[in-house]
């Protein structure tokens, strides 16, 4: 039963990622805790980080084939962000699980609010990136990597606007390029947690299988529902708030 629930939960996360993009992976941790039955918050974060990383790298391939990955900016953002993700995940491991979940639930509410704003389209800059632009990309990558590692999330909802802000790239390129960092940050966090024995490898594999299948289905449906994207964001945002309130109540009750 737990295996079936893990595959089903992974399918739900993959489907939401394929359907609405950034923000979908935020459901991975609460699904592991309250549906699959993982009892340790740190194990849930470590396991979900691995699953999100593999799914991000899998979804990177079609974007790369379509020419929507700015490799130089994406790699700089990801490589510098590795240090941030390592630092953030180490801090996350040292924090009490219930306190970490309380902060995680507050983050979910912030994400739900940000998803309602939409994403700005920024024209691509001409010519090679300047030193100032490279420094901005590196600094943003470190900060986003630290947040991603601390909460054990893919961080696409932060990485996409971060790349738009720091590199000035078009939205479609920022989405494709973000997957390099999502995969890299998730893998860094997973390795850090695995070193402490905080990854359930069987559940992670089941989550990955479900996530790949769900991602394909979500992406296929998204092509037919592009005009309703903001409606989908609002519905998903409402789901995030409901789950966040439930997680916050549970974590506060446990600490009380």
Predicted confidence (pLDDT) per residue in 83-119, tens digit: 999 999 999 999 988 888 888 888 888 877 876 765 5
Average of per-residue pLDDT across 232-253:
80
d(CA 211, CA 191): 20
User: In this structure, what DSSP letter does residue 35 have?
Assistant: I
Structure tokens at 43: 């194990």
Predicted confidence (pLDDT) per residue in 185-236, tens digit: 989 999 999 999 999 999 999 999 998 888 778 767 766 765 666 676 677 7
Contact 154, 52 (CB under 8 A): yes
Structure tokens at 253: 């009750």
Structure tokens at 211: 């996530």
Structure tokens at 205: 């594999």
pLDDT surpassing 70 at residue 132: yes
The residues near 214 (Cβ < 8 Å, ≥ 6 apart) are 10, 11, 12, 13, 14, 15, 16, 17, 18
């Amino acid at each position: 039963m737990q295996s079936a629930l893990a595959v089903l939960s992974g399918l739900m996360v993959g489907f939401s990622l394929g359907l609405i993009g950034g923000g979908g992976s935020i459901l991975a941790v609460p699904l592991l805790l309250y549906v699959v039955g993982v009892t340790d918050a740190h194990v849930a974060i470590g396991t979900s980080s691995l699953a999100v990383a593999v799914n991000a790298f899998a979804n990177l391939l079609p974007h790369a084939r379509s020419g929507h990955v700015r490799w130089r900016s994406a790699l700089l953002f990801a490589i510098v962000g590795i240090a941030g993700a390592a630092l953030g995940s180490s801090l996350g491991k040292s924090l009490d699980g219930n306190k970490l979940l309380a902060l995680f639930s507050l983050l979910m509410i912030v994400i739900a609010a940000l998803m309602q704003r939409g994403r700005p389209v920024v024209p691509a800059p001409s010519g090679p990136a300047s030193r100032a632009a490279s420094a901005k990309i590196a600094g943003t990558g470190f900060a986003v990597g630290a947040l991603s590692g601390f909460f054990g999330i893919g961080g696409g909802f932060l990485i996409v606007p971060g790349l738009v802000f720091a590199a000035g790239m078009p939205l479609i390129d920022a989405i494709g390029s973000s997957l390099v960092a999502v995969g890299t940050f998730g893998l860094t966090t997973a390795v850090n947690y695995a070193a402490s024995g905080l990854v359930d490898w069987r559940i992670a594999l089941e989550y990955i299988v479900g996530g790949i299948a769900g991602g394909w289905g979500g992406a296929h449906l998204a092509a037919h529902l592009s005009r309703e994207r903001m409606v989908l964001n609002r519905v998903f945002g409402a789901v995030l708030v409901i789950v966040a309130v439930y997680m916050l109540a549970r974590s506060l009750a446990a600490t009380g």
